[in-house]
Amino acid sequence: MSLNHIVTLLALAAAMVPLAAAAEPCPGNSQALGTERVLEVDARSTPQVGRKHFPNTLPLARKELVLTFDDGPWPGTTPKVLDALKRECVRATFFLLGRNAKAHPELARRALAEGHSIGHHTFAHPLLDRMPLDRAEAEINHGIEADEYAVYGQRRGNPITPFFRFPGFASNKALLDRMNQRGLVVFGADVWASDWNPMSPEQELRLILARVEQVGRGIVLFHDTKAQTARMLPAFLRELKRRGYRIVHVVPAGSRGVLN
Ligand SMILES: [Zn+2]
């Protein structure tokens, strides 16, 4: 390893120093899991994250987790998910579907108001890897514009939070290159609850806890449209606390102090 290489690594390590101090007290819940720290993420240093599909993930320490929720907002389930996160003072990232944000803008705005990051997940959830690039990009933009309008009241193509997750993780090199050129961070996942399969909340809780213990750190994927996920979330968060896991909130680079 050259000296230059070492200097670069040291600079990178310094950039990864936790940005937030220890969790603030959580109103009404002295035993809350809380949010341990805020991590700024940008497409230059971490263009694609999540080891299920990519070689790298976010720079997380052992027992650090980033919680993410896809496909919402959805009446009935998203409010329960938001309630559970609020009770534990945990901040997560929601990858919205444009059509759901358009139909339920008040829920999308509630997620923002409660301090969560708002990422994007297309308008109607098609698999983008098997359509022409321009059509795929039009679908991505349609979703981003619908989300931005629902959440911020402005229809912009460059989202406030440039985080994107491909429906079904269906991407290809041309699309990934395009996302990177646009400065959009592509989120995969390190672990998931398979909550697209029907199961009881108890089964889902056991499954996700076992998988989290296996990977030890990383990006956790749930769907806030799923009743079983909404129902098991309070117990999941309490169990993470009991087992010594810590929550990291991802935000766009340079946004601390601007967003919540
Ligand atoms: Zn999805």
What is the pLDDT averaged over residues 156-180?
97
Mean pLDDT, the chain, integer: 92
% of the chain at pLDDT higher than 90:
87
- 70 assigned to active site: yes
- pTM for this model (two decimals): 0.90
pLDDT band at 15 (very low <50, low <70, confident <90, very high): very low
- 223 assigned to active site: yes
More confidently predicted of 14 and 93: 93
Interval between CA 38 and ligand 1 midpoint (Å): 25
Catalytic residue among 104, 116, 120, 223: 223
Interval between CA 20 and ligand 1 midpoint (Å): 30
**Residue 258 in this model has a pLDDT that exceeds 60:** no
Interval between CA 1 and ligand 1 midpoint (Å): 41
The pLDDT tens digits for 36-69 are 999 999 999 999 999 999 999 999 999 999 999 9
pLDDT band at 173 (very low <50, low <70, confident <90, very high): very high
pLDDT band at 137 (very low <50, low <70, confident <90, very high): very high
Interval between CA 223 and ligand 1 midpoint (Å): 7
Interval between CA 28 and ligand 1 midpoint (Å): 33
Interval between CA 15 and ligand 1 midpoint (Å): 31
Interval between CA 221 and ligand 1 midpoint (Å): 10
What is the pLDDT averaged over residues 171-195?
97
pLDDT of amino acid 24: 72
Catalytic residue among 70, 147, 190, 195: 70
pLDDT of amino acid 69: 98
The pLDDT tens digits for 196-231 are 999 999 999 999 999 999 999 999 999 999 999 999
ω into residue 167 within 30 of 0, thus cis? no
**Residue 163 in this model has a pLDDT that exceeds 50:** yes
**Residue 17 in this model has a pLDDT that exceeds 50:** no
Residues in Cβ contact with 38 at an 8 Å cutoff, skipping those fewer than 6 apart: 19, 20, 248, 249, 250, 251, 256
pLDDT of amino acid 6: 52
Interval between CA 231 and ligand 1 midpoint (Å): 19
pLDDT of amino acid 14: 46
